[in-house]
Chains A and B, each alone.
Chain A
Amino acid sequence: MRTAIPAGVNADPPIHGVPLGWESAPGDLPREFAGRGAQAQALRGLFPEAPGNLSPVRGGRSAALPLLEQIRPDRYAKSRNFLDGAVTRLSPYIRHGVLTLVEVRDAVLHRTRERGSSEKLINELGWRDYWQRLWRQLGEGIWDDQEPLKTGHDPESYDTELPLDIAAGRTGLACMDGFIAELHSTGWLHNHARMWLAAYLVHWRRIRWQVGAAWFLRHLLDGDPASNNLSWQWVASCFSHKPYFFNRANLERYSGGAFCHACPLNREGCPLEGSYEELEARLFRPMPAVRSGGDGRQLRRQAGRGGNASALSRPARPQARPR
């Protein structure tokens, strides 16, 4: 939403870095710009390889503190799976240490009267810590499949390049194209949108998760191989006991119907449409263990994916065990 700029207010004020207490040297990068437009132009000159433009999401402590102030742990717990839910948007600042995880933890604990209302948000901060610990343990191995895929497909059958329609945000699905446009222009996506987009790439388009993960890392302001890659692996099923997927009804519900009503595929046939059982049969092949297991327990677990589980962006009880 754009707000009108009152007359007399400079829409593109000059940018001043905090002063340094020492002399500058040849080759130091500028800390003063005539405005944000001039800054973007200067950065394009300094980093000619880097594609795109600046994000409307501003960096720095001054941008992060109001967000920290606005945290509502109780509302977060209830609404976090909805695209318009009370999520914190703090991830880029935490990723780069503008705010530390300890600071955010303490801010949440400080305004907690009842433990239950903040449990979910504290738990999610715990996920961040967990992924970081795994990155330290895995190193570059964070790019390798942690376990075999549970999709029934040969790992070699997955595409090793990002298809052009995805790179251009022209898949024809209003939801996916909307997410891609937001990723490309802002560098931030709601967690549920990341999960839907990742599942679409890996399961509907049969693309290697590494291709999607690298694409996200190029664009996300908060991207690091820890949270990013391990979440892609969770979607793909090499860091969980089953693949994550969803259906159109799930997306429509948690996006508040923002995409489906105007989507051309609404009439022509949406590839995300179907019950979970139908989609499972369409997207995956039976796993040998399920086919020959015989005791029925795994079959039940495979078939038991209900609406509740699909609303979660992560497994409630992850079965993953990294190598």
Chain B
Amino acid sequence: MQHPVLWIHGEALGPANPALQTFPDRPAVFVFDTELLGGRSPTSSDPANTLGEPVSLKRIGFLYECLLELPVTLRRGDVAAEVLAFAQRHGADGVVTSEATDPRFSRIAERIAAGLPLEVLPVPPFIPDGDGQAFDLGRFGRYWRRAAPLVWQAWQAEP
């Protein structure tokens, strides 16, 4: 990928965003997801309730203030369609973004990847240097018994 554009999503609105770190000079876009903000997505509303209510202006304003501090074009509408149109306007040969937890991210990413090559950059994990095995999430205590020593190792390593 020689001339990508960057897709910035709502879980990475800071300068540590790996896409912004890796390609600081490439055009970047954030799309206000009107379906999600309208309360028509499991990210914002119970999928069993077809009458989801919209997200308040407080949240939109908060996101907006985060985004004004980043070099990023702001759009609203259908995220995948807007990202692909942005890429086309900039003659991009691909899209770069960063990992996200929200399952909605994966569905949007699939639609973008159907139009252009998509690279998803990893985000540094909270638990450093795991042993590669999946954590048992059955209960917090079990997860934390394995995770806590790994977190505290970093502290012990400090001079």
Partner of B62, one of A20, A44, A92, A160: A92
Asked whether B126 lies within 8 Å of A63 as measured between CB atoms, the reply is no
Q: Which residue of B lies closest to A128 (CB)?
A: B126
Within 8 A of B (CB), among A77-134: 92-93, 95-103, 105-106, 109-110, 112, 115, 122-123, 125-130, 132-134
**B2: CB under 8 A from chain A?**
no
Of the listed residues B16, B44, B49, B68, the one surrounded by the most CB atoms of chain A closer than 10 A to its CB is: B68
- Cα of A143 to Cα of B32 in the assembled complex, Å: 23
State the main secondary structure of chain B at its contact with A: loop
Q: Contacts A52-B57, A210-B49, A214-B46 given: A100-B16 contact, CB under 8 Å?
A: yes
Min distance, Cβ B38 to any Cβ of chain A, angstroms: 6
**A50: CB under 8 A from chain B?**
yes
Asked whether B56 lies within 8 Å of A218 as measured between CB atoms, the reply is yes
Q: Which residue of B lies closest to A317 (CB)?
A: B141
Partner of A28, one of B47, B75, B154: B75
Asked whether B126 lies within 8 Å of A22 as measured between CB atoms, the reply is no
Residues of chain A with a CB closer than 8 A to B44's CB: 214, 217-218
Asked whether B54 lies within 8 Å of A51 as measured between CB atoms, the reply is yes
How many B residues face the partner with a CB closer than 8 A?
72
Q: Contacts A18-B68, A58-B65, A102-B124 given: A31-B45 contact, CB under 8 Å?
A: no
Residues of chain B with a CB closer than 8 A to A186's CB: 58
The number of chain A residues touching the other chain, given as a range, is 35 or more
- Cα of A234 to Cα of B15 in the assembled complex, Å: 34
Residues of chain A with a CB closer than 8 A to B54's CB: 49-51, 218
**B109: CB under 8 A from chain A?**
no
Partner of A59, one of B64, B123, B152, B154: B64
**Which one of A2-10, A219-227, A279-287 is at the B interface?**
A219-227
**A157: CB under 8 A from chain B?**
no
Of the listed residues A17, A19, A123, the one surrounded by the most CB atoms of chain B closer than 10 A to its CB is: A17
Residues of chain A with a CB closer than 8 A to B15's CB: 61
Residues of chain A with a CB closer than 8 A to B10's CB: 96-97
**A136: CB under 8 A from chain B?**
yes
Q: Which residue of A lies closest to B147 (CB)?
A: A126
**A321: CB under 8 A from chain B?**
yes
Residues of chain B with a CB closer than 8 A to A24's CB: 73
Min distance, Cβ A142 to any Cβ of chain B, angstroms: 8
Min distance, Cβ A32 to any Cβ of chain B, angstroms: 9
Interface residues of B (CB under 8 A from A): 10-17, 25, 27, 32, 37-39, 42-49, 52-76, 89-90, 101-103, 123-127, 135, 137-141, 143-144, 147-148, 151-152, 154-155, 158
Of the A-B pairs whose beta carbons lie under 8 Å apart in the complex, a sample of 23, sorted by A's number, is A17-B69, A20-B72, A22-B27, A28-B75, A43-B60, A52-B57, A54-B58, A57-B62, A59-B63, A59-B67, A102-B16, A105-B151, A123-B144, A128-B126, A136-B103, A140-B103, A213-B46, A214-B44, A214-B49, A218-B44, A218-B53, A224-B43, A320-B139
Taking A51-B57, A55-B58, A98-B13 as known contacts, 9 extra A-B pairs with beta carbons closer than 8 A to each other, sorted by chain A number, are A20-B73, A60-B68, A105-B126, A115-B155, A122-B151, A126-B144, A126-B148, A135-B102, A321-B139
